[in-house]
Amino acid sequence: MSNVEATPVELVCGATTAHRPVEVLKPRDVPLGGPRAMSVRRTLPQRERTMIGAWCFADHYGPDDVSETGGMDVAPHPHTGLQTASWLFTGEIEHRDSLGVHAMVRPGELNLMTGGAGICHSEVSTSNTTILHGVQLWIALPDAHRHAPRNFQHHAPAPITIDGATVRVFLGTLCGETSPVETYSPLLGAELVLAPHADLTLAVNPEHEHGLLLDQGTATLNGTHLTPGELAYTATGPTTLHVTNPGDTPARAVLLGGTPFGEEIVMWWNFVGRTHEEIEAFRAEWQAESPRFGKVTGYPGDRLPAPPLPTGRLRPRGNPA
């Protein structure tokens, strides 16, 4: 998914090693186009926290009736220095990219695209979709791999049932299940569906920080109550996470984790880089239709133009100390 804000915020993101209680991050609404276009709830990045492990961007959208919102139609747009992780709850999205991949994003199936040195892609909800509902996540690539070649991986994780919950592990390891999908830093990504009044204790890597994004229902993380759309953060240290559903209906959440990202990155629009000058060069190359990004074939329309750069230099904005 593209960040289609007309004036995207410039960020330098860094990790924090401070041990804190559960921190609840509230989403902000971001429209993805004109008056009929769908909007998303964005929990990463924001002022309170810009990264969880290498996870640097989290958009949560739906359930949207596409007959009312127009669905998703994101024209070809570029990425550098990151991987995009697409995960749906309902609906279907057609993906085309400059690697030549033409694939569908479907519920319960991960599509992970690597755009290190440069890639471009389009995303369009299909005619089969009536309700569109899911998350779009970005993973920052560490310096040693941030110029990695284009790649695309697909994985449909088998569900695991444990203590009144159904777990699908799409990245990393949880509940004895390990995803085969390649990442460039230690990560965790999983969908949790908790039955009413489920009480779940998860063994986790103490070197990871974690975030629990609640999609629907009610849930608590280590005793802290969440409402839909909120993202709960926990720092490194604990060996377990305690997740409950105190409600009378099922709850669904996405669990993210990873080791604190020990580098600073500059993130602006759809680019992840290291300096103002590098981001400026990426933008100029996209506008000039540089071969760095390649071309998407099969999309019935023009590419997304890059928005103007801010008038000042891209400035730091990192996690709290």
Indicate whether 318 pLDDT > 80: no
Average pLDDT over residues 241-245: 98
User: Which range of residues forms the domain containing residue 186?
Assistant: 12-258
Task: Classify residue 81: in a domain, yes or no.
Answer: yes
In a domain, 43, yes or no: yes
In angstroms, the CA 253 to CA 192 distance is: 5
CATH number of the domain that residue 106 is part of: 2.60.120.10
Cα–Cα distance between 275 and 269 in angstroms, integer?
Answer: 14
Residue 9 pLDDT more than 70? no
In a domain, 167, yes or no: yes
Tens digit of pLDDT for each residue in 64-112? 999 888 889 999 999 999 999 999 999 999 999 999 999 999 999 999 9
Q: How would residue 128 be classed by pLDDT, with cut points 50, 70 and 90?
A: very high
Among 7-11, 136-140, 270-274, the minimum mean pLDDT is found in: 7-11
For 192, counting Cβ atoms within 10 Å of its Cβ (0-12 exposed, 13-18 middle, 19+ buried), the class is buried
* CA distance to 43, 98, 244, 250, 291, per residue, from 296 (Å): 29, 5, 44, 40, 12
Three-class DSSP category at 32: coil
- The total number of structural domains in the chain stands at 1
Phi-psi region of 298 (alpha: psi -120 to 50; beta: other; left: phi over 0): left
What pLDDT, in 10s, does the model give residues 181-216?
999 999 999 999 999 999 999 999 999 999 999 999
In a domain, 265, yes or no: no
> What's the pTM value of the predicted model, to 2 decimals?
0.92
List 139's β-bridge partners, or say none.
Answer: 55, 83
